[in-house]
Amino acid sequence: MGVSRAGRRGEDGRSPPPPALSARDVIRGELAGLEESASLFDAHAHTGADIDGTTRAVEEHLGEIEALDGRSVIFPLCVSDGYAKENRRVVEECRRHPDRLVPFARLDPRVSDAADAAEALAGGARGFKLHPRAEDFRLDHPGVDAILGVAAEAGVPTLIHAGLGVGSFGGTIVELAERHRGCPIVLAHAAVSDLSWVWREIPSHPNLFFDTSWWNAADLVALYSLVPPGRILLGSDVPYMDLETVFAINLRCARFAGLSEEAIELVAGGQLENLLAGGVPLDAGPPPGPPQAAPSLTAARMATALTAAGGAMLGGGDASQMLELARLATAGNGRALGGSERLLAELMDEAGSESQDAPWAVAMALTLLATPGVENTAAVA
């Protein structure tokens, strides 16, 4: 998967410039070699059709997971007519591919109770997914407590959306963790809704976990710096995020934060495998704490402009002016970027193009800027 940048010398004796790298080249370069050392296991992926028009065929997801020789938990996208049928579909998809896919049942606590949760497990589900934003419920809803009670008795994980649109869960999340200690509670999207404080609660709540289905390198560096690696599970959130991109961003952020390769292997799949087998959570040591290195002033300026460009893209606006500002921030300051200036320029070129990977080019550029000193596989000749 690595990309060589070496070239033959021309007739004038000078080496021609290396070919431009696409965002996909950089992403796959970051992942090169990881699948040989770690058993990749995605804790957060959807299949089916969402009420917002998003779709994800299981065959598409299976192809991407197989390309990484990995495995994946899957569960339904959001629907409006109940999840019983959708959960049965997911179980059947997983039965056709038991070596690759593991089914979680999605439940709506407003209409599902303990009996529904038990029935889902009896039907083949290996855990639960709860989405307080999509289904518009609070974590203090009695249905949440009932579902977690079933999960705790069975010793299966429950994944809870903890990203955009939910505000703060506050003390409710630790109260639930305390009452249902037999249930591994996984806060999705790096728990960005509550990461600012909930990491301090980890020593008192051994059943709190976090998945990595997020794109913002600053949040992920904080996650890997503050949370013990044994409490972090790799997750992608496909189809809303790109599987390879999220994995590449997380690998780089984990290395920048100082995680050992053994700890990364636990994050990448070892801990999830253990939890699904009913094992006691494996310990990979304490969190490394804040990184010693820091982005340069030039990198910080570029990151500000690129973040604004990404926001414009997500909102359907024009990102060209902010991309231009990001490029101008490097003028005369390439050395301050740690030798990654050419990669960044190529990523910004793609970000301004019609490529379907343009948003992921922005995400990878932001990640390079946030993680100085981490070797980029794709940049090595």
Which amino acid belongs to residue 361?
A
Average pLDDT across the chain, whole number: 90
pLDDT tens digits, 84-143: 999 999 999 999 999 999 999 999 999 999 999 999 999 999 999 999 999 999 999 999
Q: Is the dihedral of CA 227, 102, 154, 123 positive or negative?
A: positive
**Does residue 23 surpass a pLDDT of 90?**
no
Token duo for residue 103: 């089914």
Can you count the helices (H) and strands (E) in the chain?
A: 16, 11
Token duo for residue 244: 């390879």
Q: Tell which wins on pLDDT, 13 or 328.
A: 328
Q: Which stretch of 12-21, 78-87, 101-110, 354-363 has the lowest confidence by average pLDDT?
A: 12-21
User: Predicted confidence band at 25 (pLDDT cuts at 50, 70, 90)?
Assistant: confident
**Does residue 299 surpass a pLDDT of 50?**
yes
Amino acid 29: pLDDT: 85
Homologous superfamily of 38-276: Metal-dependent hydrolases (3.20.20.140)
Which amino acid belongs to residue 65?
I
Q: Percent of the chain at pLDDT above 70?
A: 90
Q: Which stretch of 64-68, 260-264, 335-339, 346-350 has the lowest confidence by average pLDDT?
A: 335-339
User: Predicted confidence band at 156 (pLDDT cuts at 50, 70, 90)?
Assistant: very high
pLDDT tens digits, 247-260: 999 999 999 999 99
pLDDT tens digits, 71-87: 999 999 999 999 999 99
User: Predicted confidence band at 167 (pLDDT cuts at 50, 70, 90)?
Assistant: very high
pLDDT tens digits, 315-330: 889 999 999 999 888 7
Considering the chain, tell me which residue range(s) the CATH 3.20.20.140 domain(s) occupy. 38-276
**What are the residues whose beta carbons fall under 8 Å from the beta carbon of 376, sequence distance 6 or more?**
26, 29, 30, 252, 340, 343, 368
Rounded Cα distance between 91 and 86, Å, is: 9
User: Predicted confidence band at 27 (pLDDT cuts at 50, 70, 90)?
Assistant: confident
User: Predicted confidence band at 17 (pLDDT cuts at 50, 70, 90)?
Assistant: low
Q: Percent of the chain at pLDDT above 90?
A: 76
**Does residue 175 surpass a pLDDT of 70?**
yes
Q: How far apart are the first and last CA of the chain?
A: 13
Model pTM score: 0.91
Rounded Cα distance between 50 and 176, Å, is: 28
User: Predicted confidence band at 9 (pLDDT cuts at 50, 70, 90)?
Assistant: very low
